[in-house]
Amino acid sequence: MKVRKDIAAAEVVALYDRVDAALFGVGVETQPAVAARIVELLQRPNAHLREYGDAIKADCALTGRLLRLANSAHFAQRSPVTNIERAFVLLGMERVKSISMGFYIARSTTGPSQRALSRCVWGQSLFRACLASKLAATQSPNVCPEAFIVGLMLDAGIPLMGRIFGPNYESIAMALSPHELYQTELNTLEFTHVDVAAVLARRWRLPSLLSKAITWHHSRPPSVGPGQPGPTLQRIASYVGSLSLDVRNCPIVLSPLPAPARSEVATTSEVKSLVNEAAAEFLAISALFTDVADPIGTPDEIHALLQPRLIETLDQLLESGAGGPLAASPAGSVSARVAGVEVQLETASSGGVTAFITGEAGAKLLSCTVSPGEEDASSIMRVLGLEDATPDEIDGLMARIRDLAA
């Protein structure tokens, strides 16, 4: 068995097929018709409230949970909310869209066994989702629902990895930071929790805007200005995905943020309110996920543990300046900017070319090894997740690959 870091580009499609089969083996089903309809509506910015209502009413479980949220203390209604239309008005379309899709994700990926890892990860994921949504509101408010879904799905593959690989994986996943876990998976397993999330996104036909942010969240985020949904979601995913959470599901460690993600955190003075808002939102929404997620703590606990570390990290970033260009590439390598992402190419011992995407603190995350004589540009772009590249960018990257492989 090859470990993930040694999987070549031409083998990734077959790998995803094996992951898909493994998911069927642990009972993960394709999203139901209601979830598919919500995904369809999410891709239509002008979809009407009534269309969401018609879809959600078809699922009594989700309808009941949304009514429970609308009647929670967080919204402090004087009279009970007894119909879904009023709940929609009270909750707002952004929250309804986010929670609806999140509900199906949670239900589809936790399974009946309710292992400790599943409950722990989903408690953490719900907090990441809330924080991602709050961060999106400061940069691209129109993608707040998408940011919530991205935050919730970043680690969706971890409980499933536990069900596939068993107790040994579970103990490792509970002990390591997000970055450490991903590196361990790359070096020891055939596929990673990110691969599982990518397969889920493919199976559920999530739009590229969501799937790209989910599958690239351990990579260096693109340094494109605010107001562009794709890069914004990718930077937010990188940010919230770097949070390390302790056994009580409280944030205790924040990995250093790459400079391009800095704008997503806003200013130091805004951090406290963003964290508190995310904590309050988490506590309100968590009632919908009590059967799959552990609680994460009170807003005061979350703020006391997380906010000082956010400020410390922000201060370090400000002191370090803009960061400057990446370090010079070693001999036998070149770099290229493709679809807003820095891709480094190096000659491989097999005669092919190894493509890296730069990760946290400039570290290189192995993506794949390609053989330009055997694979066409479209397959390479698909494996690297660069489908949005322009023709000129594709031509430039392929030219560099051919030059190195010559």
Q: How many residues does the chain have?
A: 406
CB 288 within 8 A of CB 103: yes
pLDDT of residue 196: 93
pLDDT of residue 211: 86
d(Cα 145, Cα 42) in Å, to the nearest integer?
9
d(Cα 85, Cα 321) in Å, to the nearest integer?
49
d(Cα 334, Cα 355) in Å, to the nearest integer?
10
The string of DSSP letters for 71-87 reads: TSTTT--SS---SHHHH
Pairing relationship of beta strands 251-254 and 243-245 according to DSSP bridges? antiparallel
pLDDT of residue 326: 35
pLDDT of residue 241: 86
pLDDT of residue 124: 83
Task: Locate 276 and state its tokens.
Answer: 């508190």
Reported as type and span, the H/E element at residue 355 is strand 353-358
Q: How many other CB atoms are there within 10 angstroms of residue 159's CB atom? A: 31
pLDDT of residue 255: 41
d(Cα 348, Cα 9) in Å, to the nearest integer?
13
CB 246 within 8 A of CB 301: no
Would you write out the chain's pLDDT as a tens digit for each of its 406 residues? 789 988 887 788 899 999 999 988 887 767 778 888 888 887 787 787 778 888 888 888 888 888 888 888 777 777 888 888 788 888 887 788 888 888 888 877 876 655 778 888 888 888 888 888 888 888 778 788 888 889 988 998 999 999 899 889 988 988 888 888 999 999 999 999 999 999 988 888 788 888 888 988 887 665 545 555 557 788 888 888 887 766 554 555 444 444 434 444 445 456 667 767 877 787 788 777 877 777 766 656 665 655 555 545 444 443 443 333 333 445 567 777 776 667 778 777 666 777 776 554 454 554 567 776 766 777 677 666 666 678 888 888 888 888 877 6
Provide the β-strand partners of residue 344: 335, 356
d(Cα 73, Cα 78) in Å, to the nearest integer?
10
d(Cα 258, Cα 313) in Å, to the nearest integer?
10
Domains of the chain, CATH where assigned: 4-25+98-320 (1.10.3210), 333-405 (no CATH)
pLDDT of residue 190: 93
Task: Locate 110 and state its tokens.
Answer: 């936790």
In degrees, rounded to 5, the angle at the alpha carbon of residue 335 between the alpha carbons of residues 223 and 315 is: 35
CB 338 within 8 A of CB 356: no
**388 three-state secondary structure:** coil
pLDDT of residue 350: 64
Neighbouring residues of 298: CB distance < 8 A, sequence distance ≥ 6:
279, 283
In degrees, rounded to 5, the angle at the alpha carbon of residue 40 between the alpha carbons of residues 390 and 49 is: 125
pLDDT of residue 192: 94
pLDDT of residue 188: 94
CB 42 within 8 A of CB 207: yes
